Amino acid sequence: MAATALAALALPGTPAMSLAGDPAEAAAHDHAGHPNGGCGALEAITVDGPVGCTHGPDPAPPGIDISQPWPARSSQPEFEPTEAAAVGSVPCIGDGVSGKRVQAIYAHPADRPNRASQVVPQIRTWAAETDAVINISAQKRGATRHVRFVTRSDCTLDVKVVTLTAQGDDNLTNTVAELRLQGFDRTDRKYLVWMDSTVLCGIASLYIDDRPTKDNANNSTTAPPTVARVDSGCWGLASRGQSVEAHELVHGLGGVQPTAPNATANSHCNDESDRMCYADGSPGYAEWTRCDVAREALLDCGGDDYFHPSPPAGSYLATHWNTANSDLLASSDVPPPPPDKLTRLAGSTRVETAIRTSRDAFPTADSATAAVLASDRSFADALPGVPLASAEDGPLLLNGRDRLDPAVAQELQRVLPARATVYLLGGTGALGDAVARGVQALGFTTTRFAGENRYATAVAIAEHGLGAPDTVFEATGHTFADALTGGSAAAAVGGAILLTDGSTQSVETAAYIARHPTARRYALGGPARAADPAATAFAGRDRYATASAVARHFFSGPRTIGVASGLSFPDALAGGANIAIRNGPMLLVAREAPLPAATVDYVRSQSAIDHSVVYGGTGVVSDRVAYELANLIPG
């Protein structure tokens, strides 16, 4: 971040120390950079007793004179307007007041005029820009994070207007103390204050607590609330990539902890370009640039210091405080769908999502008779696995190539009785010998279905796994969507999935048809229809329409439907085995709304549907899609 008048007030004293429990443990959380009285080189202050720390104001952004109150600006923006310069309003989340929330405040000292009528409408825009900084940062990593602002019954931002004494703006200590005297001390709130003053640019409080758990002092409802303050000269700089409001609010959420990989001693970072990084005067500060200057408007350039919605396993943010996990940030801007209408089965990875579907279908120990194991990275050999899992009355689980995943091993031991069979789909290029040995070491029998290619593997599953059924569903082996559509349908009629070589019939599938000339054949999608013109075809204008056509033909009055991404295979694959047990079809959707028209038409046409199951997390099927889907279900 370019040099700016920002200060972080750290509160590592009594409240945070008491949250740690054991005094020795509390001392361990007091970072080595603050060995003297909890503040080290920083200035110690007190707010209602606890020790606090601040490094004091720093220079404002270039061209900004903090002595000039808003709306004065003395130069053109340093950056072109950014995507974080939001237009509109903050999201209206739930009832607007329940749970942990950020309360917006317009404050003015008694010796300055009350400009609330002029400023409050602007605060609603600046708050929306603050939310945009955080949410766009999350979107860059395939997620959603919205600030849980307090909103009014009409869904507009609730802005409290507060008059302080003439000394209330002198420093953050006075501001916090006077806000508390006026009742702004709720532990389920954080306060974002637009101070109509020209004392500084921005300042905020946070707790020095890097524990990753929900009881982190920055997230707890037992610690006094943090306060972020922005003075008039620095209001509304999001359009130039310098949202001071976002910077200070992120401090209030607990960023940046001193233990972070690129942290400074003053709770910032040094790996530019980044909303929380700048030369803050910390000893030994050495700036290094890892992202383009356009990234300056957003959070955590490297995704490794203070904000990442899905940090890699074992990384710093997976094992330390991550502001993206704050309860003050919502992963959706829509209300959750009614649980009686929709269930989401999801884990943090595709492997965990498959395990979650297994536990849903087989909730008690030893309740499955077999299991199917497929590659979590390659769809080709896995596509014919859904009807096999259904026929064997077991789950379809996903695994990597090189070793048996410990979580998969644990699920196999839970769901299967001793000496049960685990079917491996594909050759060692999909699931290596080490995977088979890992399964065998658990006491299970392994049977591998594999051919020289994906077409031969599908035939091997059909003939040797399913007993050469007289109903086959053909789908292209070049992509996955059409075969995923057919999985639950094939399971419903005791059929098998065979693969075509795109629009050309594969040699292996042709040989199977020649050996079983009376088999009933269905072609799913345009390529399969071209490969086998004699088959009964179900081919819509897109994958979503094809899925709906298959559902309409093969499922009469289903009560439950499955829904998964039509743009990735893992969740629909594991979900296909799950929805087959529920005797329902698998429909496909895009990640974001609106729902495909064919999906909407199908659901509306089926009056018996009373529930839907979404397979996969919000990164593949958004909450908005789930919400719209639930709203289609009557009742």
**Residue pLDDT, tens place only, 30-64:** 333 332 234 455 565 566 655 345 666 756 777 88
Distance, CA of 441 to chain centre: 35
pTM for the complete prediction?
A: 0.56
Model pLDDT, residue 400: 95
For residue 199, give the DSSP letter. Answer: S
304-314 average pLDDT score: 95
Facing residues of 9 across strands?
54, 205
Model pLDDT, residue 285: 83
Question: From the CA atom positions of the chain, what is the Rg in Å?
Answer: 29
Does the CA dihedral 451-456-459-461 come out positive or negative?
Answer: positive
267-273 average pLDDT score: 91
Please state which of the ranges 60-69, 351-360, 408-417 shows the lowest mean pLDDT. 60-69
- Whether the predicted pLDDT of 208 surpasses 50: yes
How far apart, in whole angstroms, are the C-alpha atoms of residue 71 and residue 599?
A: 50
| Backbone φ and ψ of 307, nearest 5° | -150, 115
Determine how β-strand 611-615 pairs with β-strand 342-345. parallel
Residues 6+ apart with CB under 8 A from 379: 480, 483, 569, 573
Model pLDDT, residue 117: 96
Of residues 7 and 260, more confidence is placed in: 260
- Whether the predicted pLDDT of 544 surpasses 90: yes
399-423 average pLDDT score: 97
User: Which tokens in the block code for residue 431?
Assistant: 């699931």
Q: Residue 443, by phi and psi: left (phi above 0), alpha (psi -120 to 50) or beta?
A: left
Edge to edge, the sheet with strand 159-164 lists 43-46, 51-54, 6-10, 202-206, 227-231, 189-195, 101-109, 159-164
Report which secondary-structure segment, H or E, holds 598. helix 597-605
**Residue pLDDT, tens place only, 477-506:** 999 999 999 999 999 999 999 999 999 999
Q: Is 402 exposed, middle or buried (0-12, 13-18, 19+ CB in 10 A)?
A: exposed
The residue assigned the tokens 């590659």 is 375
Residues 6+ apart with CB under 8 A from 272: 1, 278, 287, 288, 289, 290, 291, 293, 296, 301
Confidence of residue 332 (pLDDT cuts 50, 70, 90): confident
Tally of helices (H runs) and strands (E runs) in the chain: 18, 24
How far apart, in whole angstroms, are the C-alpha atoms of residue 618 and residue 624?
A: 9
Model pLDDT, residue 84: 47
Per the prediction, the chain carries an average pLDDT of 87
Please give the single-letter amino acid code of residue 582.
R
Task: Report whether 60 contacts 66 (CB < 8 A).
Answer: yes
262-273 average pLDDT score: 90
**Residue pLDDT, tens place only, 450-461:** 999 999 999 999
User: Which tokens in the block code for residue 273?
Assistant: 């370009």
SS3 helix, strand, coil % of the chain, rounded to 5? 30, 20, 50
The alpha-helical segments, DSSP class H, found in 113-197 are 116-139, 172-181
- Whether the predicted pLDDT of 302 surpasses 50: yes
**Residue pLDDT, tens place only, 334-361:** 666 778 899 999 987 899 999 999 999 9
